[in-house]
Amino acid sequence: KASLDELVALGRQRLDWMLKMGVTTVECKSGYGLDLDTELKQLEAVRILQREQPVELVSTFLGAHAWPDEFKDDQEGYVDFLIN
């Protein structure tokens, strides 16, 4: 339920620490929000951080690892929602 600003601030802190430890590439997974608005917010946070951080950020989507409540009894429907 974090705001975009909160996601970016937290990402900044973590990436600064990782860079100090010598990390140069980080995988940024989305798919945890289980809805379109949250996915877009997560991806926007990554896009903002990509512009301001020297660490290479690679976005990956972890879809269908869990089912939103509205698709609890229609997992095929959720997969269809994800791919279409």
User: pLDDT per residue over 36-76, tens digit each?
Assistant: 898 899 999 999 999 999 999 999 988 878 888 888 899 88
**Contact between residue 64 and residue 79 where contact means Cβ atoms under 8 Å apart:** yes
pLDDT over 80 at 33, yes or no: no
**Alpha-carbon distance 9 to 33, whole Å?**
18
Coil/strand/helix, residue 57: strand
**Contact between residue 30 and residue 42 where contact means Cβ atoms under 8 Å apart:** yes
Q: What is the pTM of this model?
A: 0.81
Confidence of residue 31 (pLDDT cuts 50, 70, 90): confident
Reference 54, options 20, 81, 82, 78; nearest CA is: 20
Domain of residue 64 covers 4-83
Mean pLDDT value of segment 23-44:
90
Quote the number of domains for the chain. Answer: 1
Q: Chain-wide mean pLDDT for the chain? A: 91
